[in-house]
Amino acid sequence: DAKTTQPPSMDCAEGRAANLPCNHSTISGNEYVYWYRQIHSQGPQYIIHGLKNNETNEMASLIITEDRKSSTLILPHATLRDTAVYYCIVRVYNQGGKLIFGQGTELSVKP
């Protein structure tokens, strides 16, 4: 089973920041938090990952709380093309590192 909890859906206005929360209260010390997104019927796309420090790349920022029990993915200026299902995944280290997907958050960016 997935080790993360996400809201099933969120809306965001175009041009505004989209903040997607994720709870992973049972995360272990050497497990990473990964974010992927899946645009309708395409393969999931890697966004960002982190262990304990905040991370930023050209797509998004990842904020991980100090206790590592939750994180937030931030899309700073959402566009209509960011409409997708966003998956927060904890990489299970001792099970071959496989990615276990949960239900994700369906983000709708509206004009």
Partner 1 sequence: ETGVTQTPRHLVMGMTNKKSLKCEQHLGHNAMYWYKQSAKKPLELMFVYSLEERVENNSVPSRFSPECPNSSHLFLHLHTLQPEDSALYLCASSQGTGASNYGYTFGSGTRLTVV
Binding site for partner 1 (CB under 8 A): 2, 30-32, 34, 36, 41-46, 49, 51, 87, 91, 93, 96-104
Helix residue ranges, H only, the chain: none
Q: Which is nearer to partner 1, 12 or 27 (CB)?
A: 27
Sequence-distant (6+) residues with CB within 8 A of 36 are: 44, 45, 46, 47, 86, 87, 89, 99, 101
Smallest distance from partner 1 to CB 96, Å:
4
| DSSP 8-state secondary structure symbol assigned to residue 95 | G
Smallest distance from partner 1 to CB 13, Å:
26
Structure tokens at 44: 């999931």
Q: Which is nearer to partner 1, 35 or 82 (CB)?
A: 35
Distance CA 47, CA 55 (A): 11
Smallest distance from partner 1 to CB 26, Å:
15
Q: Which is nearer to partner 1, 79 or 103 (CB)?
A: 103
